[in-house]
Amino acid sequence: MNFLALIQAAAATAPAAAQAPASQAPIAQGTAAQAAVSQITSADAAEPVVQAAKELLPQASTFAASIDDSFLLILWFAVFLSIVVAGAFAIMVLRPSAGTAGSTSRALYRWSAVGAFALVAVFFVQGARVWADMQVVPRGAVPVRVALEEKGWSFTYPNGYVTNELHLPIDRAVKFMFQGASEPYTFAVPAFRLQVAVPVGTRRDAWVEPTLAGEWEVRSTVPSLRKAEELVALATVHAEGGYEKWYQDISGPPLDLPPVELGQRSYQMRGCTQCHTVDGAKLVGPTFKGFLAREHRMKDGSVVDPSDDYIKESILDPQAKVVEGFEPVMPSFKGRLHELEVAGLAAYIKSLQ
């Protein structure tokens, strides 16, 4: 049993540990702590505390358990030292008779110094080990570019897809490449125990290996004049195979297909079907049926030609021209579609009779 496990086991065997108040719950969630708790008879009593802690701040990455171990090691010693110091002062004033006059033994100072150095060294080595792991990005990590832009977070995937939501695979390393903005920000995901500071105009790299599927909050913790919601994003860790499916969806169809077929696949995969039909039915947006044959009258009364340029503009900048009888609710697909896909969609829409 290593030193850390020894301390955790000692702490867990203390009767008070089983009845720790809720405020102490978040710090008792390391996997090693759970192991120590499970070894002893008070495990059943401690279980709700561990569960509550896991609910408050789950360990959702490989770093989380290591950092929690490091935290617990220091915490138990801090509690122990504080009780010893307070107790020593109390005993000195409450004891019945005075001690013997003289001077403190040099050996006491010497051993206090040696003990303090040893403890500090243990704390340092424990923390530095995790820190060193965090500095070396594993080979084959999934690269994601991260930036905090004017409208909020932006995450760019290897296929060029840009989104304001972070999607991550489970049990696979992800490399974040941060681009500094005009103000400093941090990329903090408490569930991963990961916080990366990105100073003004600099670049930073970091990595993480998510281990728990779910949705975790991403936040910049640097005080800012921005609206609070602009500093927050959602990180979705997909269950086994979920990320690959999501990535395939955002990657769209193979770009070497003939234009009309490519457009048809894009229409099906990119969510166009939610608002536009190809059978003449009216949804949120106009149908694509008979696109070339009908007149395209806009809200401002103008009439436009059903050209490729008009279709491309409607996809990339949908608010530029809004069709009469419809609301300007379509989101822009700028940066989300390959230019061949846009051309394919134009060809597909024009092909519909």
Partner 1 sequence: MNSSHSIGSTNPGAAAKPSVGGELWLFTQDHRRLAWMYAIVIGLSLVVGTVLAVGLGLQPLTGRGTAADAESYRRLYSMHGLVMVFLVALPALPGIVGNWLLPERLGVDEMAWPRMNLLAFQLLLVGCVFFLVAFFATPLDTGWDFALPYALKSNSSVAWGMLGIVFVGASFATSGANIVATVITSRGNGRCWSDLPFFAWAMGAAGLIQAIVTPVLLTALALLFAQREGASDVFASSGADVRFDQWFWFWAHPALASMLLAAIAVIGDVVGEHGDRPRGASRASVLSVMAITVFAFAGWGIHVLGRTDSAACDTAFSALVLASGVPLIILIVDWVTTLERGEARATTALGYAATSVVALTVGGMAGVFLAVPGTGAHLQNTSFSTGVLHFLVVGGVLGALLSGVHQLWPRWLGVAAREGWGKFGCFLFFVGVNLAFVPLCVRGYLGQPRRTLEVVAADERLGWYAVLGAVLIIGALTLAAWNLVATLLDSRATLAKKEAD
Residues 163-192 that bind partner 1 (CB under 8 A): 180, 182-184, 186, 188, 190-191
- Segment near partner 1 (CB under 8 A), from 33-41, 111-119, 253-261, 285-293? 111-119
- Segment near partner 1 (CB under 8 A), from 43-51, 81-89, 207-215, 339-347? 81-89
Q: Based on CB atoms, which residue is closest to partner 1, 202 or 273?
A: 202
What amino acid is encoded at 105 in this protein?
S
- Taking the CB of residue 318, how many other CB atoms lie within 10 A of it? 17
Please report, in angstroms and rounded to a whole number, the separation of the first and last CA atoms in the chain. Answer: 75
Query: Contact, 237 vs 213, CB < 8 A?
Result: yes
Q: What's the rounded Cα separation, in Å, for the pair 10 and 57?
A: 24
Sheet hosting strand 162-163, strand order edge to edge: 162-163, 152-156, 142-149, 174-179, 203-208
Q: Based on CB atoms, which residue is closest to partner 1, 35 or 86?
A: 86
User: With CB under 8 A, what is the number of residues at the site for partner 1?
Assistant: 78
166-168/232-237 β-pairing: parallel
Q: Token digits for 182?
A: 């005009």
**Considering the complex, what minimum distance in angstroms separates the CB of residue 257 from partner 1?**
43
- Largest distance between two CA atoms of the chain: 108
Per rule CB under 8 A, is residue 90 in the interface with partner 1?
yes
The label of the residue with tokens 């048809």 reads 264
Interface with partner 1 in residues 214-253 (CB under 8 A): 217, 219, 221-225, 227-228
Closest CA to 216 of 62, 30, 63, 57: 57
- Segment near partner 1 (CB under 8 A), from 41-49, 56-64, 253-261, 336-344? 56-64
Q: CA-CA-CA-CA torsion for 101, 102, 106, 109, nearest 10 degrees?
A: 30
Per rule CB under 8 A, is residue 313 in the interface with partner 1?
no
- Taking the CB of residue 313, how many other CB atoms lie within 10 A of it? 14
Per rule CB under 8 A, is residue 6 in the interface with partner 1?
no
Per rule CB under 8 A, is residue 35 in the interface with partner 1?
no
Binding residue for partner 1 (CB under 8 A) from 2, 41, 103, 353?
Answer: 103
Per rule CB under 8 A, is residue 107 in the interface with partner 1?
no
Per rule CB under 8 A, is residue 331 in the interface with partner 1?
no
The label of the residue with tokens 């290591």 reads 66
Binding residue for partner 1 (CB under 8 A) from 5, 13, 24, 316?
Answer: 24
Q: Based on CB atoms, which residue is closest to partner 1, 24 or 277?
A: 24
Q: Based on CB atoms, which residue is closest to partner 1, 129 or 282?
A: 129
Binding residue for partner 1 (CB under 8 A) from 196, 233, 311, 342?
Answer: 196
Closest CA to 218 of 60, 81, 69, 344: 60
Per rule CB under 8 A, is residue 23 in the interface with partner 1?
yes
Query: Contact, 345 vs 276, CB < 8 A?
Result: no
- Segment near partner 1 (CB under 8 A), from 4-12, 62-70, 160-168, 296-304? 62-70
Per rule CB under 8 A, is residue 319 in the interface with partner 1?
no
- Segment near partner 1 (CB under 8 A), from 126-134, 143-151, 240-248, 272-280? 126-134
Per rule CB under 8 A, is residue 42 in the interface with partner 1?
no
Per rule CB under 8 A, is residue 16 in the interface with partner 1?
no
174-179/142-149 β-pairing: parallel
Query: Contact, 237 vs 209, CB < 8 A?
Result: no
